[in-house]
Structure 1
Amino acid sequence: MTVRAVPSAFVRAHTQVRRPSSVPEVRLHVADDVVALWEAMEAAEGGAGEAPPFWAAAWPGGQALARYVLDTPEAVAGRAVLDLGSGSGLVALAARLAGARSVLASDVDPFSRTAVGVNAGLNGVGGISVTGDVLGRDPAGTDVVLAGDVCYDREMTERVLPFLDRARARGCQVYVGDPGRPYLPHDRLEPVAAYDIPETEGPGLRRTTVWRLP
């Protein structure tokens, strides 16, 4: 099935440029009114009932991963990086700014894939390519996998974990950013950093951890 490309103009028209609170080095197109954006997405696709616009926010797990690679550039410098569930592209951008040789930003949502390109242009960052779902693929050619906020429900976690295990078995370094969701198998992971990230929806801080798959 051919998926129609989302015009860059749509992303620009329905978002505002902001700096994520924990990653001020990066600017992103984000939505102040998610409901209005979701309605615009549905209208653009003929009322097809698109998924929520996860790409239009800087989620805590992504902010933590982005902060980690910017503060610890040796984790990605000179390496081929996969940003799994890229969303806005924040983690992909941070990886390139930290010296990654190349970044592949993967997301199933065509709106996300367009947003990644728009945000890369906004920040003057090259070397990021985009693709759709990679969970059924062989992770060959990847040195580092960065996965922010991917374990948000049981079904997604059950799809993601086997891919991360395959990547680790091939020698990839695997890092997961997560704000304490119950589906993440913490007993299988090692914490490498933790940050207090402002909540995406509402006041307060969310303790968010970057984990490594040993």
Structure 2
Amino acid sequence: MSDPATAFVRRHARLAPVAFIPELRLHQADEPIGLWELTEGEFRSEQPPPFWAFAWAGGQALARYVLDHPDTVAGRRVLDLASGSGLVAIAAARAGAAGVRAVEVDARAVAAVGLNAGANGVRVDAELADLLAGDAGDAEVVLAGDVFYSAAMAERVLRFLLRAAYDGASVLVGDPDRAFLPRDRFDRVAAYEVPVPPALESVRVKPTTVWRLRPPRTRPGG
């Protein structure tokens, strides 16, 4: 792979074990702020911030849960929504999923997912797309790590996840108590103390929960 997005990931992130899942490795940025500025973060441009370059708490917790409870995904078709680095998708593939689709809106994230999957010896189908107005396709399990970080994102994601759950998918979310998580829609599955880079979260350990979405009685619109 020699496309610009892949080259960018290789140049600005190094392959290293994940703090809470040391059996997996990701291309991770050593210095968050510099990379954030380099990619014009804080949505000052159309280029998304480099979510792919870090192992966020929600994704780490969800990946840990999937690896420790492989029956969650084993033999099933999995969709990893807003995949970022691909950490959760890679965990699902390692745990025996029949197929894993990792979807992102950032071309560099898609490149990072491909690189990271290869580094961990698993197959993940990385796709550049915005699915939130649609549905989860044939996914039997939908996983989403750390997606409730803004009001606008939370509203769109929740509608998508509710449609997936109504259509029969098992929906699991990893979240470090973000303000926009609609807790009343979920049941707590597991809780962890997840190590995180202080430059990202202003703390070294983030209490993080894995939640299961309760299916709605009616199917939400797009």
Q: Give the one of 128, 132, 146 matched to 1:131.
A: 128
AA partner of residue 205 (structure 1): V
Report the CA distance between 1:8 and its aligned residue: 1.6
Query: Which residue of structure 1 lines up, in the alignment, with residue 19 of structure 2?
Result: 21
Q: Give the one of 95, 99, 105 matched to 1:98.
A: 95
> Could you tell me how far apart the structure 2 residues matched to 1:162 and 1:210 are?
19
Query: Which residue of structure 1 lines up, in the alignment, with residue 213 of structure 2?
Result: 213
AA partner of residue 154 (structure 1): A
For the residue of structure 2 that corresponds to 1:135, the secondary structure is coil
RMSD, matched Cα: 1.7
The reply to whether residue 146 of structure 1 matches residue 143 of structure 2 is yes
Report the CA distance between 1:137 and its aligned residue: 1.8
Query: Which residue of structure 1 lines up, in the alignment, with residue 73 of structure 2?
Result: 76
For the residue of structure 2 that corresponds to 1:193, the secondary structure is strand
Report the CA distance between 1:39 and its aligned residue: 4.7
AA partner of residue 193 (structure 1): A
Report the CA distance between 1:128 and its aligned residue: 2.8
Report the CA distance between 1:131 and its aligned residue: 3.1
Query: Which residue of structure 2 lines up, in the alignment, with residue 185 of structure 1?
Result: 182
Report the CA distance between 1:193 and its aligned residue: 0.5
> Could you tell me how far apart the structure 2 residues matched to 1:207 and 1:48 are?
32
After TM superposition, the structure 1 stretch with the greater mean CA deviation from structure 2, 51-60 or 125-134, is: 125-134
Conserved? CA contact 2:190–2:211, under 8 Å = yes
> Could you tell me how far apart the structure 1 residues matched to 2:45 and 2:179 are?
31
After TM superposition, the structure 1 stretch with the greater mean CA deviation from structure 2, 18-27 or 59-68, is: 18-27
Conserved? CA contact 1:113–1:131, under 8 Å = yes
Q: What is the count of residue pairs matched by the alignment? A: 206
AA partner of residue 29 (structure 2): A
AA partner of residue 160 (structure 2): F
> Could you tell me how far apart the structure 1 residues matched to 2:97 and 2:85 are?
18
**5+ residue gaps, structure 1:** none
Report the CA distance between 1:199 and its aligned residue: 2.4
AA partner of residue 99 (structure 1): G
Could you report, residue by residue, the CA deviation over 1:20-47 in whole angstroms, capped at 9, with x for unpaired residues? 11111110001012233245446xxxx9
**5+ residue gaps, structure 2:** 215-222
The reply to whether residue 33 of structure 1 matches residue 26 of structure 2 is no
Conserved? CA contact 1:116–1:130, under 8 Å = no
Conserved? CA contact 2:39–2:48, under 8 Å = no
- Aligned identity (percent) is 53
TM-score, reference length from structure 1: 0.90
